[in-house]
Amino acid sequence: MAELNYIGLNNNEAKKLAKGLNELLASYQVFYQNTRGFHWNIKGLKFFELHLKFEELYNDLQIKIDEIAERVLTLGYTPTHSFTDYVKASEIKEVKNVAEGTQAVKSILTSFKTLISKQRELLALSGEIDDEGTNALMSDYIREQEKLVWMYSSFLG
């Protein structure tokens, strides 16, 4: 019989899930910093609208970053916590010096595509091992982000 961790999950499966969550955490951290840059540097006719939307987004990302790190801890592992490791593991790449709204929104949509795909993988894995905590988290994130994708896509026309 496989050894279980304190929350009743198979240790080997929990380790795989923690690894995937750390990869997701890295992507969230890079996305967060990109979004802060968009917020700080946005210019043009839609400045006021986008400046506020980007602030809403990075505040939400900050909450999710904390939740993901805490989920890794709950599984019994250590969350990645260095920017060197984040940049190396992130599927989202750094974006620099973007001040134009359409370009920023396109980058955000590309980042959501990456996150949603990774979250679907983690949703499937967490479902296979009966990890309701991770499963619920991923399901909630996907639902919220699909709506944001629709809204940001609508902004682009």
Q: For 19-29, what is each residue's pLDDT tens digit?
A: 999 999 999 99
pLDDT band at 63 (very low <50, low <70, confident <90, very high): very high
Q: How many residues does the chain have?
A: 157
> What does the CA dihedral 62, 64, 65, 66 come to, rounded to 10 degrees?
90
Mean pLDDT of 85-92: 98
Whether the per-residue pLDDT at 43 is higher than 80: the answer is: yes
Confidence band for 2, pLDDT divided at 50, 70 and 90: confident
The Cα-based distances of 56 to 52, 100, 141, 147 in angstroms read 6, 18, 15, 14
Question: Span 71-78, mean pLDDT?
Answer: 97
| Backbone CA torsion sign across 81, 83, 88, 92 | positive
Note the pTM of the prediction, 2 decimals.
0.96
Kindly state the DSSP code that residue 78 receives in the 8-state scheme: P
Mean pLDDT of the chain: 97
Report the pLDDT value the prediction gives residue 15, as an integer from 0 to 100: 97
> What per-residue confidence (pLDDT) applies to 1?
57
What is the signed CA dihedral for 21, 26, 32, 35, rounded to 10 degrees?
Answer: -120
DSSP class of residue 2 equals: P
Mean pLDDT of 93-107: 97
Q: Which domains, from first to last, does the chain contain?
A: 11-156 (1.20.1260.10)
